[in-house]
């Protein structure tokens, strides 16, 4: 167990190094000069060079990367080029909003995905099953910005049930969380369906049915709790999907999370923020996956960590 | 003899608009103080540090939190003293002495003095500040030494006494008072900058009409009225809330619901026709000119655009009226680099006519009777790709095959700066003046200074004769020379058009929409220096 954990931690560090290196390299070779974004239009060549020197951007690539890494291990994510504020602080101020959104999205995707999966399994092979599986397929494939705009138009603009955008109350969170949950709920519906079908064919459920238990009791007390276990362990992996989705969803709904921060930074080539959000997201994804793997043996004792 | 301008407008303003007499602030008799308004933006406010902020969104916000020695009369391009009570210019035009307004307090309660003026300018010029505005102050003696790090104090700026500062220039500079009206010259209190620990941009303290109330990143920025503001009776509003993260379309819907007073990003292009054709909404749209020109650059260092006939042919090929129609008439066709609302605009200048046959003939003369293939760079956000396509069609008509390269803004700027782009459509990056003076439309975008690697002169055009004429014009800093100076500038820009490194296409108009309760003259909603509106002078009509 401990050896496993240690190995996973070493892996995690290597992954983070890789992610930071590749992102840093991509931003370095990008045909857009951050200094020109900072210096603006009227800057004299002297001002441009002076800013480049102050930011250390006149150094060779590997020196720049090394400087970034040494800062990183000390918890220093650098300073935003355009906001002139610590990136760690900027991310910290945005993180709660993103976490709230994710938490609600997890609730939504479980309710929707599991509900669809259970129904599809119970009516397997019927019309309900095909409709639900088609829906889940559409949910998995639908681009989030399209889903977001559709939900926004229907429920906020036309029906007026939810605010159009913004942050603050629960009702502000519903549409963005739903948008974020759509992809995941499609996956969960498909997984829950097959998991339920497996469980429904087990001997102990056949026994329960033979014993004369009501259908409702069999499904709710015996089938669902067993079918759901392997899926719970997947939630950790959702973190990664959400991190990617947050950039789109937060921009569409004006949600003040790190996705919005990243999106605006990308447009202005504010490299420290792009790097910071990437590193924080990578950490979250690695931790989420690790968590998923750690939970798995508790949920299903047949799985052993090696 | 010294030229004394006691509470007068500047040299130029005096010449253009007649002398402004020493006067108390003119308050609007209809304005009632109080109330609060909501303004929306899509993007977060990057910073409110006047040494750093340099986008059109934070520019006017910073103007309301901070003041500089000079300022503009609301809704105009007319200079007036701000924190300066009066100033004197020496006969040789090299020494400017400013008397500060007494009793002006920062938001932290401390009185502003001449030391603060010195600190603030030195802060901008210190390389560690990384101010994009440092280059504007090049005419002050010793600014170059601060820029290269060989001096830490500004030689040409002396604190004479707590109420007096003296600037010494290394050359006469007719734009100097405009430069002092830039946000970069705002006066900041040293103790607040130091207390903010490198994040003054989120904890700004100035002398301006509003102070920062609350700032929730990505959500909202709230300005509170500064009750001790030195312009008595201003501002009218108690509070301004800037709501962030609002798509322009959403902002418009909320304006129609009465939840928003001014959509900061303007009327979204897709909704423009709908708004303008509804008399009720159209009545609340204020239209005005802005100091903007949209143009096509042609890289004069590379064939085929190294031939002036080819560049003139392009100027004659573009159907500007059609381009203007395509963007719902939100612009007026342009025939020269300067926009019509800029002093120095050549009224009588005819420009190149739209003449397809004439253009073909010029191409043939240049040795391209069958045209050629080239690339047109443009920003990839609407309506720029559509405009690029219209330009492409017009060029096709004279035999030029332009392939469109639609890229993100930063990539177009990079390609233009590096000299890799044969043609660039400037839309989305078009030049908007930093200050209302023709000089600002030349140096960085048409002069030799901007033609180097990475400069904004994407034509890489460098005409040394015109550069000398431009410098001579900017040395004409005497008030009685103001008119002659503007004529000199007109001649420079006509000279540029002779060489045709650009094809000017249009000057964008501004359309600011407001809620029914917003009050104040229309000029405040199309203020040339405060976009979208002049926050200090607008008011609401529904306060009791």
ipTM score of complex: 0.80
Mutate to test the interface with A, among B54, B132, B188 (most CBs of A within 10 A): B132
* pLDDT beyond 50 at B23: no
Fold of B8-30+45-203: Dipeptide-binding Protein; domain 1 (3.90.76)
Q: Which residues form the domain of A253?
A: 88-299
Please give the interface size between A and B, counted as residue pairs whose CB atoms are below 8 Å apart: 149
CB atoms within 10 A of CB B397: 13
Residue A225 inside a domain? The answer is yes
Percentage of chain B surpassing pLDDT 90?
Answer: 73
- Among A237-246, B65-74, B318-327, which stretch is predicted with the lowest mean pLDDT? A237-246
Look-up of token digits 């306060």: B543
pLDDT greater at residue B179 or residue B56: B179
> In terms of domains, do A22 and A160 share one?
no
List pLDDT tens digits, range A137-184: 988 888 888 888 888 888 887 888 888 777 888 888 999 999 999 888
Interface check A277 vs B, CB under 8 A: no
SS3 (DSSP) at B408: coil
- Chain-centroid distance, C-alpha B379: 20
Inter-chain touch B216–A164, beta carbons under 8 Å = no
Q: What are phi and psi of B502, to 5 degrees?
A: -120, 155
Inter-chain touch A32–B408, beta carbons under 8 Å = yes
Assigned CATH class of B292-508: alpha beta
Q: What are phi and psi of B95, to 5 degrees?
A: -125, 125
Q: Which of A55, A86, A117 is the last residue of a domain?
A: A86
HEC profile of B169-229? ECCCCCCHHHHHCCHHHCCCCHHHHHHCCCCHHHCCCCCCCEEEEEEECCCEEEEEECCCC
* pLDDT beyond 70 at B500: yes
Residue A167 inside a domain? The answer is yes
pLDDT greater at residue B189 or residue A8: B189
B191 in Cβ contact with B58 (< 8 Å):
no
List pLDDT tens digits, range B226-283: 999 999 899 999 999 999 888 888 889 889 888 999 999 989 888 899 999 999 999 9
> In terms of domains, do A140 and A74 share one?
no
> In terms of domains, do A9 and A115 share one?
no
B501 in Cβ contact with B513 (< 8 Å):
no
Look-up of token digits 């407008």: B9
> In terms of domains, do A124 and A80 share one?
no
B263 in Cβ contact with B251 (< 8 Å):
yes
Q: Give the DSSP letter string of chain A.
A: -HHHHHHHHHHHHHHHHHHHHHHHHHHHHSSS-HHHHHH-SS--HHHHHHHHHHTTTTS-HHHHHHHHHHHHHTT---B-TTT-SBHHHHHHHHHHHHHHHHHHHHHHHHHHHHHHHHHHHHTTTSHHHHHHHHHHHHHHHS-HHHHHHHHIIIIIIIS-SS-SS-SSSHHHHHHHHHHHHHHHHHHHHHHHHHHHHHHHTSHHHHHHHHHT--HHHIIIIIIHHHHHHHHHTTHHHHHHHHHHHHHHHHHHHT--SHHHHHHHHHHTT-HHHHHHHHHHHHHHHHHHHHHHHHHHHHH-TT----
Q: What are phi and psi of B389, to 5 degrees?
A: -65, -40
Residue B18: predicted pLDDT: 32
Rounded to whole angstroms, the Cα distance separating B191 from B200 reads 11
Hey, what are A70's tokens? 């040494």
> In terms of domains, do A206 and A264 share one?
yes
Look-up of token digits 């540029």: B496
A275 in Cβ contact with A34 (< 8 Å):
no
- pLDDT class of A38 with cuts at 50, 70, 90: confident
* pLDDT beyond 90 at B468: yes
* pLDDT beyond 80 at A304: no
Rounded to whole angstroms, the Cα distance separating A197 from B371 reads 69
Q: Among candidates B523, B532, B518, B431, which has minimal Cα distance to B63?
A: B532
Q: Please report residues of A whose CB lies closer than 8 A to that of B219.
A: 166-168, 256
Q: What are phi and psi of B37, to 5 degrees?
A: -130, 160
> In terms of domains, do A203 and A293 share one?
yes
Instruction: Locate CATH 3.90.76.10 in chain B.
Output: 8-30+45-203
List pLDDT tens digits, range B384-401: 999 999 999 999 999 999
H helix or E strand, kind and range, residue B499:
helix B482-499
CB-CB: which of A32, A44, A260 is closest to B414? A32
Q: How far is A182 from chain B, CA to nearest CA, in Å?
A: 22
Q: How far is A263 from chain B, CA to nearest CA, in Å?
A: 10
List pLDDT tens digits, range B403-461: 999 998 888 988 998 899 999 999 887 667 888 999 989 988 999 988 888 888 999 99
Residue A169 inside a domain? The answer is yes
> In terms of domains, do A226 and A115 share one?
yes
> In terms of domains, do A274 and A147 share one?
yes
B252 in Cβ contact with B275 (< 8 Å):
yes
Rounded to whole angstroms, the Cα distance separating B538 from B526 reads 12
Instruction: Locate CATH 3.10.105.10 in chain B.
Output: 292-508
Q: Tell me, what CATH number does A247's domain have? A: 1.10.3720.10
Cβ-Cβ contacts under 8 Å for A64 (sequence gap 6 or more): A24, A28, A56, A57
Rounded to whole angstroms, the Cα distance separating B19 from A66 reads 61
Q: What is the mean pLDDT of chain B?
A: 90
Q: How far is A303 from chain B, CA to nearest CA, in Å?
A: 44
Rounded to whole angstroms, the Cα distance separating A53 from A48 reads 9
Question: What is the CB-side half-sphere exposure of residue B372 using CA atoms within 13 A?
Answer: 16
Residue A108: predicted pLDDT: 93
List pLDDT tens digits, range B330-379: 999 999 999 998 999 999 999 999 999 999 999 999 999 999 999 999 99
Mutate to test the interface with B, among A47, A58, A173 (most CBs of B within 10 A): A47
Cβ-Cβ contacts under 8 Å for A15 (sequence gap 6 or more): A282, A286
Q: Give the DSSP letter string of B11-79.
A: HHHHHHH-PPPP------TT-----EEEEEESSPP----TTT--SHHHHHHHHHH---SEEE-TTSS-E
- Chain-centroid distance, C-alpha B544: 37
b/e burial code for range A184-199 (CB count within 10 A of at least 16 → b): bbbbbbbbbbebbbeb
> In terms of domains, do A166 and A69 share one?
no
- pLDDT class of A213 with cuts at 50, 70, 90: confident
Residue A160 inside a domain? The answer is yes
HEC profile of B355-372? CHHHHHHHHHHCCCCCCE
Q: Please report residues of B whose CB lies closer than 8 A to that of A82.
A: 46-47, 52
Question: What is the CB-side half-sphere exposure of residue B288 using CA atoms within 13 A?
Answer: 23
Hey, what are B324's tokens? 């203007």
List pLDDT tens digits, range A94-147: 999 999 999 899 999 989 998 999 899 888 888 889 999 999 998 888 888 888
DSSP state of B440: G
Residue B10: predicted pLDDT: 39
> In terms of domains, do A59 and A99 share one?
no
Rounded to whole angstroms, the Cα distance separating B72 from B80 reads 5
Q: Please report residues of A whose CB lies closer than 8 A to that of B253.
A: 157, 164
A195 in Cβ contact with A124 (< 8 Å):
no
Rounded to whole angstroms, the Cα distance separating B338 from B493 reads 8
Q: Which of A86, A106, A137 is the last residue of a domain?
A: A86
Interface check A160 vs B, CB under 8 A: no
H helix or E strand, kind and range, residue B157:
strand B157-161
Residue B24: predicted pLDDT: 53
Hey, what are A100's tokens? 């709230």
Q: Which of A41, A56, A86 is the last residue of a domain?
A: A86
Residue B25: predicted pLDDT: 64
Cβ-Cβ contacts under 8 Å for B263 (sequence gap 6 or more): B39, B40, B246, B248, B251, B252, B255, B513
Structural domain count, chain A:
2
Q: What are phi and psi of B187, to 5 degrees?
A: -95, 125
Average pLDDT over residues B508-513: 91
List pLDDT tens digits, range A253-284: 888 899 889 988 988 889 999 999 999 988 88
Inter-chain touch B132–A40, beta carbons under 8 Å = yes
DSSP state of B417: H
Closest residue of chain A to B380, computed from CA coordinates: A267
> In terms of domains, do A10 and A156 share one?
no
CB-CB: which of A39, A55, A167 is closest to B219? A167
Residue B107: predicted pLDDT: 97
* pLDDT beyond 60 at B17: no
B441 in Cβ contact with B305 (< 8 Å):
no
> In terms of domains, do A38 and A153 share one?
no
Q: What is the mean pLDDT of chain A?
A: 86
Hey, what are B168's tokens? 């010494």
Give CA separation, A273 vs A89, A264, B176, B330, in Å: 11, 9, 36, 35
- Among A90-94, A223-227, B105-109, which stretch is predicted with the lowest mean pLDDT? A223-227
Look-up of token digits 């109350």: A169
pLDDT greater at residue A177 or residue B17: A177
Inter-chain touch A51–B415, beta carbons under 8 Å = no
Q: Among candidates B72, B192, B15, B25, which has minimal Cα distance to B531?
A: B72
């Amino acid at each position: 167990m401990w050896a496993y954990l240690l190995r996973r931690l070493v892996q995690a560090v290597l992954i983070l190094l890789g992610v930071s290196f590749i992102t840093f390299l991509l931003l370095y070779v990008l045909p857009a000069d951050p200094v020109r974004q900072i210096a603006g239009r009227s800057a004299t060549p002297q001002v441009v060079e002076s800013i480049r020197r102050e930011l250390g951007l006149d150094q060779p690539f590997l020196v720049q990367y090394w400087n970034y890494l040494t800062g990183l291990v000390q918890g220093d994510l650098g300073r935003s080029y355009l906001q002139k504020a610590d990136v760690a602080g900027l991310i910290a101020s945005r993180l709660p909003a993103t976490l709230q959104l994710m938490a609600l999205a997890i609730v939504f995707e479980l309710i929707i995905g599991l509900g669809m999966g259970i129904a599809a399994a119970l009516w397997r092979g019927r019309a309900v099953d095909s409709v639900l599986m088609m829906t889940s397929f559409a949910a998995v494939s639908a681009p989030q910005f399209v889903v977001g705009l559709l939900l926004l138009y229907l429920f906020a603009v036309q029906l007026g049930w939810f605010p159009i955008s913004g942050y603050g109350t629960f009702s502000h969170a519903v549409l963005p969380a739903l948008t974020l949950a759509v992809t995941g709920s499609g996956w969960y519906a498909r997984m829950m369906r097959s998991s339920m079908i497996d469980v429904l064919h087990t001997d102990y459920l056949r026994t329960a049915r033979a014993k004369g238990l009501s259908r409702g009791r069999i499904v709710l007390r015996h089938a669902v709790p067993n079918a759901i276990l392997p899926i719970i362990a997947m939630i950790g992996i959702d973190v990664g999907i959400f991190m990617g989705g947050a950039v789109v969803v937060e921009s569409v709904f004006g949600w003040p999370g790190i996705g919005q921060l990243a999106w605006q930074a990308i447009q202005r080539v504010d490299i420290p923020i792009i790097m910071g959000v990437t590193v924080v997201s990578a950490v979250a994804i690695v931790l989420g996956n690790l968590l998923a793997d750690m939970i798995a043996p508790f949920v299903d004792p047949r799985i052993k960590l090696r | 003899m010294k030229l004394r301008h006691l509470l007068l407008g500047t040299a130029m303003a005096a010449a253009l608009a007649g002398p402004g007499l020493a006067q108390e602030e003119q308050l609007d008799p209809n304005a009632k103080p109080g109330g609060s308004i909501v303004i929306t933006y899509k993007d977060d406010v990057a910073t409110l540090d006047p040494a750093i902020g340099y986008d059109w969104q934070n520019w006017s916000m910073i103007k309301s939190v901070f003041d500089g020695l000079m300022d503009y009369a609301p809704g105009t391009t007319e200079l007036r003293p701000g924190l300066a009570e009066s100033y004197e210019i020496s006969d040789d035009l090299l020494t400017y002495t400013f008397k500060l307004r007494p009793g002006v307090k920062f938001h932290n309660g401390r009185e502003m003095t001449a030391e603060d003026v010195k600190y603030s300018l030195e802060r901008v010029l210190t390389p560690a500040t990384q101010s994009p505005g440092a280059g504007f102050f090049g005419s002050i003696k010793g600014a170059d030494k601060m820029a290269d790090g060989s001096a830490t104090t500004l030689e040409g700026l002396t604190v004479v006494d707590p109420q007096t500062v003296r600037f010494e220039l290394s050359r006469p500079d007719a734009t100097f008072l405009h430069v002092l009206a830039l946000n970069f010259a705002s006066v900041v209190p040293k103790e607040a900058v130091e207390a903010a620990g490198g994040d003054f941009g989120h904890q700004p303290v100035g002398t301006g009409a509003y102070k920062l109330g609350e700032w929730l990143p990505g959500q909202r920025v709230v300005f509170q009225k500064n009750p001790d503001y030195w312009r008595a009776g201003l501002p009218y509003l108690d509070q301004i809330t800037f709501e962030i993260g609002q798509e322009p379309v959403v902002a418009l819907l909320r304006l129609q619901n009465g939840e928003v007073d001014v959509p900061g990003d303007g009327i979204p292009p897709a909704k423009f026709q709908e708004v303008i054709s509804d008399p009720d909404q159209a009545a609340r749209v204020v239209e005005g000119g802005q100091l903007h020109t949209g143009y096509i650059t042609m890289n004069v260092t590379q064939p085929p655009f190294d031939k002036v006939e080819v560049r003139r042919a392009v100027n004659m090929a573009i159907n500007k009226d059609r381009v203007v129609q395509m963007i719902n008439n939100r612009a007026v066709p342009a025939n020269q680099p300067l926009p019509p609302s800029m002093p120095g605009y050549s009224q009588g200048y005819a420009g190149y006519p739209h003449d397809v046959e004439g253009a073909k003939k010029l191409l043939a003369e240049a040795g391209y009777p069958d045209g050629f293939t080239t690339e047109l760079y443009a920003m990839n956000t609407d309506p720029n790709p559509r405009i690029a396509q219209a330009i492409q069609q017009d060029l096709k008509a004279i035999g030029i095959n332009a392939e469109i390269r639609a890229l993100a803004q930063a990539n177009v700027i990079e390609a233009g700066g590096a000299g890799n782009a044969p043609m660039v459509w400037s839309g989305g990056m078009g030049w908007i003046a930093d200050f209302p003076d023709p000089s600002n439309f030349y140096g960085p975008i048409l002069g030799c200074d901007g033609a180097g690697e990475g400069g904004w002169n994407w034509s890489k055009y460098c005409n040394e004769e015109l550069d000398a004429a431009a410098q001579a014009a900017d040395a004409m800093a005497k008030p009685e020379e103001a008119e002659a100076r503007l004529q000199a500038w007109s001649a420079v820009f006509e000279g540029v058009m002779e060489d045709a490194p650009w094809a000017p296409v249009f000057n964008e108009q501004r359309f600011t929409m407001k809620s029914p309760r917003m009050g104040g003259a229309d000029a405040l909603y199309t203020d040339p220096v405060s976009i979208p509106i002049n926050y200090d002078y607008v008011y609401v009509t529904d306060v009791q």
